[in-house]
Amino acid sequence: MKPLLAVLIVLACATPVAAQDAVTPWRLVDYADDHAANWLAIAYGGLVGADIGISMSAFEQGAAREANPLLRPLQRHPVGFGFAKAAINTATVVAVYKWTRPRSATRYTALCGLIAVQAVVVGYNIRALREHR
């Protein structure tokens, strides 16, 4: 129950509220034109999907254990684990979009950093699976 509550708190904190930002309200139009950032977010989403799949495979084979203490109790529940991991990563991308300007170097740098970290995680999981065999 505690991990679910933690996930809900993270999602509630990452939810954009227009009243908090009177200068630039949350509008999809602002983000639809930022094609480069959108492609980076899609690439990040692909890596997150790969991470979820590879992590679940590693858990089933006993090759790895979830390092995130919030998600560790969910590693025995594939649907809950996948949903929670996807929700946390989606909230992260939404936060990057919310707190950076469209077509800014800050947004591109943040998304590239997320991609780099996620690529390292996926690589680690693949290595753990290979070494376990």
Residue 103 backbone zone (phi > 0: left; psi -120 to 50: alpha; other: beta): left
Per-residue pLDDT of the chain (133 residues; tens, 9 = 90+): 555 555 555 555 555 544 444 445 555 555 567 889 999 999 999 999 999 999 999 999 988 889 889 899 998 899 999 999 999 999 999 999 999 988 899 999 999 999 999 999 999 999 999 998 7
Q: Specify whether the CB–CB gap between 89 and 48 falls below 8 A.
A: yes
Give the DSSP H/E element, type plus range, for residue 13. helix 2-14
Chain centroid to CA 45: how far?
7
- CA–CA distance, 54 with 121 (Å, rounded to integer): 10
Q: Specify whether the CB–CB gap between 115 and 47 falls below 8 A.
A: yes
Q: What is the pLDDT of residue 19?
A: 45
100: tokens are 């950076």
84: tokens are 């929670």
- CA–CA distance, 13 with 91 (Å, rounded to integer): 9
